[in-house]
Amino acid sequence: MTKQQTARGQLAQFLSALFLREELIELRFIESWLSDNRKRSRVVQPSEWLRPDEFIAAHGDLTAFARRERANIYFGVCPRSKVGDADDHSIRTIRCAWCDIDRVTAEEARRRWNQAGIPRPSIVVRSGSGIHGYWLLQQEPTSQAERLRFGAMLQNFYRSFGGDHVQNLSRVLRPPGTLNYKDARNGRTPLPCSLCVCDPEVRYPLAAFAPWMPKDEREKRPEPAAPRSHPAVDASSVHAEATTLIRRLDRPCRDRSRRDFAIVCDLLRLGLSRDEIWSLVSASSKFESDGRPYFDLTVTNAERAVLSGQTARSHPRPET
Q: Which of 90, 13, 93 is CA-nearest to residue 52?
A: 13
Span 23-27, mean pLDDT?
Answer: 98
> Taking 50 as the threshold, does the pLDDT of residue 176 lie above it?
yes
Q: Does 230 score more than 80 pLDDT?
A: no
pLDDT at 219 (0 to 100): 44
More confident of the two residues 284 and 228:
284
Region class of 263: left (phi > 0), else alpha (psi between -120 and 50), else beta:
alpha
Domain of 190, in residue numbers: 3-217
pLDDT > 70 in the chain, percent: 87
Q: How far apart are CA 105 and CA 128, in angstroms?
A: 10
Mean pLDDT of 20-35: 96
68 lies in the same domain as 117: yes
Q: Does the pLDDT of residue 215 top 90, yes or no?
A: no
pLDDT of residue 288 exceeding 90, the answer is no
Do residues 286 and 190 share a domain? no
Query: Do 71 and 145 have their domain in common?
Result: yes
Residue 165, pLDDT > 60, answer yes
DSSP-derived secondary structure for the chain: --HHHHHHHHHHHHHHHH--TT-BEEEEEEEEEEETTEEEEEEEEEEEEE-HHHHHHTHHHHHHHHHHHTPEEEEESSPBSSTT--SGGG-----EEEEEEET--HHHHHHHHHHTTPPPPSEEEE-SSEEEEEEEESS---SHHHHHHHHHHHHHHHHTTT--S---TT-EEPPTTEEE-TTGGGTPPPEEEEEEEE-TT-EE-GGGGGGGSPPHHHHTSPPPPPPPPPTTS-HHHHHHHHHHHHHHTTS--S-HHHHHHHHHHHHHHTT--HHHHHHHHTTSHHHHHHHHHHHHHHHHHHHHHHHHT--PPP-PPPP-
Beta bridge partners of 130: 102
pLDDT band for position 232 (cuts 50, 70, 90)? very low
Mean pLDDT within 113-122:
96
Whether residue 203 is found in the same domain as residue 266: no
Asked if residue 313 belongs to a domain, the reply is no
Half-sphere exposure at residue 275, Cβ-oriented, CA atoms within 13 angstroms: 0
The pLDDT confidence band at residue 310, using thresholds 50, 70 and 90, is: low
User: Residue 172 carries which side chain, given as an amino acid letter?
Assistant: V
As a whole number, the mean pLDDT across the chain is 87
pTM, two decimals, is 0.69
Asked if 209 and 293 sit in the same domain, the reply is no
Q: What is the mean pLDDT of residues 165-176?
A: 92
Residue 261 domain flag: yes
Model confidence at 83, pLDDT cuts 50, 70, 90, reads very high
Q: Which neighbouring-strand residues pair with 173? A: 75
Residues in the chain: 320
What pLDDT does residue 307 have? 79
List the single range of 6-10, 89-93, 129-133, 254-258 with lowest mean pLDDT.
254-258
pLDDT confidence of residue 237: 52
Q: Please tell me which residue, 136 or 236, carries the higher pLDDT value.
A: 136
Say whether both 158 and 108 belong to one domain: yes
Whether residue 108 is contained in a domain is answered as yes
Q: Same structural domain for residues 121 and 245?
A: no
Do 206 and 277 fall into the same domain? no
Q: What average pLDDT does the segment 271-294 reach?
A: 86
pLDDT band at residue 3, thresholds of 50, 70 and 90?
low
